[in-house]
């Protein structure tokens, strides 16, 4: 593998706008450390409008600078994780940020103690416009904040509760050993989490089956421990939300994300009403794979189409510009800008962070880290990450610092819109039926993985939490059997389940962050609707989408989605998605 110095400058990101050098970063950090001390002057004095305003402005200014420097130091570590000087710089920047968080922690406590009436006036005061979200959040949370003493106790208890996720991680990431898998010729392969994704897509059915079985075996063997640990996590979710005066753990999560309950209910009802579409997809895939009966381990198989065309980074950018044309000229030119100004760190080098990400800081262009491989998988990763980058770019450009970050509920929409536009583009521009079918399958597989599967997961989580909240009892049999029943329902009667399927719930790490995954489903559904409107050149679709991209967190997330023409509170929105999927499936021949 090449060393970083050996790569062409053209394919390395330009992060000079974040900071010029380590030295400059250190100088800036020490000047921030001095500036930070000023915040102490406000401690105990946050009752008057002026003092509140000044202290908020000071915090914003410092946090904004810290964000930028932390990112700079993080980028340098991403470039080469073996460089200890960069790691020290990152640690220094982080520790200053922690120090400032603790120095300024009185601010939220003192402001939260002010009356709702006073806070509402501040929120409406034009002088405080940039901080209106800050006050809105404090007012919204008032009913769920406890006394100072209780808060202290609860925070300590929550630290203990974190151990369920940690134990799970230790056990499944480190202690678990998977038996090697064999393919149809008897050849053996080592099985890890990393190559699971490759073998389960293989055209060799024996390999797929053995992969699915061997991956689940340790989860069966340690079922008792995994059950007990998961019950602990569910109990903790339920107890904490009860202490915080929520009617249920689900309502607690939805409240924090500012998502109304009917969005969650609409999702579950719509997916349940439309399971038939997924069952038809499984059947279409069975025919294509020429199987007598479809099994769960066949769902991920790539259909028989060798797709190994080479795509250089330069060509990928040109291709992406064509794909995003439905979003408008400006968006296309921003892709070129990202290329010209080197927002992307393209190729891998020795010591570089694996995978890909997009991030940035306010007032500066975003950046994307890739390990680009000259293939179509990489083109999909690139267009995905550039989707995040454009969302950040538009929100930063149009919102103040305090309202520029988009919420986690919206975070995967812009990236998924781009991916879907790319699949629709490939479907329309395929050179053969085989190629077209490959992309139909890719579309449907993504739809299944994001919508069907994640909804099954949240239905499971919801059941487990509700059973505990109602009866205070959960057991091995309830958990395993309920999961199996859901699998039967979601896969339908024509897909064969493995006897080990009932243990699969314990292989999902996300269950240690309750009710997280429904956002994958609502995100995909929203992105699909937006992409469909853009692709079909529906009137004002472009303008609406740009408003969505530009909104940051200036409004509650569901309101921002409405700017793009997507209303998740309306059940018809969900039906529109399934109707669209249905038309795509009808073309599958």
| Binding residues for Zn ion (CB under 5 A) | 415
| Minimum separation from the CB atom of position 414 to Zn ion (A) | 9
The nearer residue to Zn ion, 208 or 388, going by C-beta atoms, is 388
Strand partners, 295: 496
The nearer residue to Zn ion, 248 or 415, going by C-beta atoms, is 415
| Minimum separation from the CB atom of position 388 to Zn ion (A) | 6
CA-based nearest residue to 312, from 373, 401, 233, 380: 373
| Minimum separation from the CB atom of position 384 to Zn ion (A) | 6
The nearer residue to Zn ion, 395 or 415, going by C-beta atoms, is 415
The nearer residue to Zn ion, 450 or 501, going by C-beta atoms, is 450
The nearer residue to Zn ion, 97 or 527, going by C-beta atoms, is 527
From the DSSP assignment, how many helices (H) and strands (E) are in the chain? 24, 7
CA-based nearest residue to 515, from 471, 477, 464, 550: 464
The nearer residue to Zn ion, 63 or 415, going by C-beta atoms, is 415
The nearer residue to Zn ion, 415 or 462, going by C-beta atoms, is 415
The nearer residue to Zn ion, 59 or 417, going by C-beta atoms, is 417
Long-range contacts, stretch 311-317, CB < 8 angstroms, 24+ apart: 311/374, 311/375, 311/376, 311/378, 311/379, 312/374, 313/11, 313/344, 313/346, 313/347, 313/372, 313/374, 313/382, 316/372, 316/378, 316/379, 316/382
CA dist 210 and 205 (Å) reads 9
The nearer residue to Zn ion, 503 or 524, going by C-beta atoms, is 524
| Minimum separation from the CB atom of position 443 to Zn ion (A) | 18
| Minimum separation from the CB atom of position 401 to Zn ion (A) | 23
| Minimum separation from the CB atom of position 411 to Zn ion (A) | 7
- Cα–Cα distances (Å) from 258 to 133, 513, 553, in that order, read 12, 17, 12
Give the alpha-carbon dihedral of 387, 388, 394, 399, to 10 degrees.
160
Rg (CA), the chain: 25
| Minimum separation from the CB atom of position 357 to Zn ion (A) | 8
The nearer residue to Zn ion, 110 or 419, going by C-beta atoms, is 419
CA dist 474 and 466 (Å) reads 10
CA dist 100 and 35 (Å) reads 10
List the beta strands (DSSP E) in 168-310. Answer: 181-182, 188-189, 294-295
| Minimum separation from the CB atom of position 387 to Zn ion (A) | 8
| Minimum separation from the CB atom of position 259 to Zn ion (A) | 19
CA-based nearest residue to 230, from 532, 460, 569, 428: 460
Strand partners, 182: 188
The nearer residue to Zn ion, 133 or 415, going by C-beta atoms, is 415
| Minimum separation from the CB atom of position 510 to Zn ion (A) | 15
Residue nearest to Zn ion (CB): 415
| Minimum separation from the CB atom of position 358 to Zn ion (A) | 7
3-state percent breakdown (helix, strand, coil) of the chain, nearest 5 = 70, 5, 25
CA dist 396 and 389 (Å) reads 10
| Minimum separation from the CB atom of position 557 to Zn ion (A) | 16
How many CB atoms are closer than 10 A to CB 203? Answer: 14
The nearer residue to Zn ion, 277 or 423, going by C-beta atoms, is 423
**Alpha helix locations (H) across 258-375?**
261-273, 275-289, 313-323, 329-340
Judge whether 307 and 378 are in contact, CB under 8 Å: no
| Minimum separation from the CB atom of position 381 to Zn ion (A) | 9
| Minimum separation from the CB atom of position 308 to Zn ion (A) | 25
CA dist 109 and 104 (Å) reads 10
Angle at 197 between CA 455 and CA 478, to 5 degrees: 40
CA dist 125 and 121 (Å) reads 6
Q: Provide the terminal-to-terminal Cα distance of the chain, rounded to the nearest Å.
A: 43
Q: Residue 75: which H helix or E strand, with range? A: helix 49-79
The nearer residue to Zn ion, 326 or 356, going by C-beta atoms, is 356
Dihedral angle sign, alpha carbons of residues 303, 305, 308, 313: negative
CA-based nearest residue to 281, from 302, 299, 306: 299
| Minimum separation from the CB atom of position 524 to Zn ion (A) | 12
CA-based nearest residue to 570, from 270, 274, 255, 256: 270
The nearer residue to Zn ion, 55 or 415, going by C-beta atoms, is 415
The nearer residue to Zn ion, 266 or 415, going by C-beta atoms, is 415
Strand partners, 189: 181
């Amino acid at each position: 593998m090449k060393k970083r110095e050996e790569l062409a400058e053209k394919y390395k990101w330009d992060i000079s706008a974040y900071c010029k050098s380590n030295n400059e970063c250190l100088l800036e950090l020490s000047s921030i450390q001095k500036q930070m001390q000023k915040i102490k002057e406000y401690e105990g004095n946050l009752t008057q409008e002026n003092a509140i305003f000044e202290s908020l402005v000071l915090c914003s200014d410092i946090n904004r600078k810290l964000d930028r420097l932390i990112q700079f130091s993080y980028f340098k570590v991403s470039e080469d994780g073996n460089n200890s000087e960069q790691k020290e710089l990152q640690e220094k920047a982080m520790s200053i940020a922690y120090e400032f968080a603790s120095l300024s922690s009185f601010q939220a406590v003192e402001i939260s103690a002010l009356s709702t009436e006073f806070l509402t006036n501040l929120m409406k005061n034009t002088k405080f416009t940039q901080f209106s979200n800050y006050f809105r959040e404090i007012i919204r949370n008032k009913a769920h904040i406890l006394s100072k003493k209780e808060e202290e106790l609860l925070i300590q208890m929550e630290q203990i509760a974190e151990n369920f996720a940690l134990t799970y991680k230790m056990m499944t990431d480190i202690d678990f050993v998977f038996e090697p898998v064999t393919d149809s010729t008897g050849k053996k392969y080592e099985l890890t989490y990393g190559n699971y994704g490759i073998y389960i897509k293989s055209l060799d059915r024996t390999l797929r089956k053995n992969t699915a079985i061997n991956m689940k075996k340790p989860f069966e063997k340690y079922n008792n421990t995994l059950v007990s640990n998961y019950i602990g996590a569910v109990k903790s979710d339920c107890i904490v939300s009860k202490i915080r005066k929520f009617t249920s753990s689900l309502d607690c999560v939805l409240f924090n994300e500012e998502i109304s309950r009917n969005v969650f209910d609409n999702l579950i009802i719509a997916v349940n009403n439309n399971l038939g579409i997924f069952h038809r997809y499984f059947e279409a895939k069975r025919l294509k794979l020429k199987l007598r009966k479809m099994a769960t381990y066949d769902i991920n198989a790539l259909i028989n189409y060798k797709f190994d065309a080479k795509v250089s980074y330069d060509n990928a950018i040109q291709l992406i510009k064509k794909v995003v044309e439905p979003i408008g000229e400006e968006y296309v030119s921003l892709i070129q800008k990202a290329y010209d100004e080197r927002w992307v760190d393209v190729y891998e080098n020795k010591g570089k962070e694996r995978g890909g990400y997009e991030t940035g800081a306010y007032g500066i262009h975003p950046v994307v880290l890739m390990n680009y491989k000259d293939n179509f998988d990489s083109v999909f990763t690139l267009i995905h990450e550039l989707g995040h980058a454009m969302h950040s770019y538009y929100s930063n450009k149009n919102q103040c610092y305090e309202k520029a970050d988009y919420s986690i509920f919206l975070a995967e929409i812009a990236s998924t819109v781009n991916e879907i536009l790319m699949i629709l583009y490939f479907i329309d521009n395929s050179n053969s039926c085989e190629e077209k079918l490959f992309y139909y399958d890719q579309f449907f597989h993504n739809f299944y993985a994001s919508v069907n599967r994640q909804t099954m997961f949240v239905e499971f989580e919801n059941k487990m939490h509700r059973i505990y909240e109602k009866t205070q009892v959960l057991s091995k049999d309830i958990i395993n059997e309920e999961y199996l029943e859901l699998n039967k329902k979601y896969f339908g009667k024509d897909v064969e389940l493995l006897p080990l399927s009932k243990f699969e719930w314990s292989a999902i790490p996300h269950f240690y962050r309750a009710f997280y995954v429904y956002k994958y489903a609502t995100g995909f559904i929203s992105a699909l609707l937006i992409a469909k409107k853009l692709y079909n050149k529906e009137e004002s679709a472009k303008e609406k989408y740009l408003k969505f991209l530009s909104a940051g967190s200036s409004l509650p997330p569901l309101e921002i989605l409405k700017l793009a023409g997507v209303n998740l509170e309306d059940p018809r929105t969900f039906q529109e998605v399934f109707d669209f999927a249905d038309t795509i499936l009808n073309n599958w021949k």
